[in-house]
């Protein structure tokens, strides 16, 4: 169950896969993951975790609410 906290890129990818997303796939400047007609662009690898603010935007893009995220 991932808490709504800063998260590493690998944890983000693992949990999006649990939510039914496939990928990551190469695409332009950023990799992306897809589920049906929903596409979520994944931040590039860098030092440090993905902040809560960015995680909230990614979850909105993925159409996953916070409660569903914490139940994964």
pTM of the full structure:
0.91
Does the pLDDT of residue 1 top 80, yes or no?
Answer: no
Report the pLDDT averaged over residues 53-72: 93
Q: Is residue 39 part of a domain?
A: yes
Please, what is the Cα angle at 1 between 44 and 43, to 5 degrees?
10
Q: Is residue 29 part of a domain?
A: yes
- What pLDDT was estimated at residue 41? 95
- What pLDDT was estimated at residue 3? 77
How far apart (Å, rounded) are the C-alpha atoms in residues 11 and 33? 14
22: CATH: 3.30.920.30
Number of domains in the chain: 1
Indicate the average pLDDT of the chain: 92
Q: Is residue 2 part of a domain?
A: no
pLDDT digits (tens, 9 = 90+) for 18-53: 999 999 999 889 999 999 999 999 999 888 899 999
How far apart (Å, rounded) are the C-alpha atoms in residues 59 and 16? 9
Q: Are 5 and 71 in contact (CB under 8 A)?
A: no
């Amino acid at each position: 169950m991932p808490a709504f906290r800063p998260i590493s890129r690998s944890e983000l990818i693992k949990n999006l896969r649990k939510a039914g997303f496939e990928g990551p796939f190469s695409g332009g400047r950023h990799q992306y993951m897809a589920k049906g007609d929903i596409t979520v662009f994944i931040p590039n690898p860098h030092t440090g975790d993905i902040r809560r603010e960015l995680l909230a935007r990614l979850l909105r893009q993925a159409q996953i609410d916070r409660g569903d995220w914490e139940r994964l």
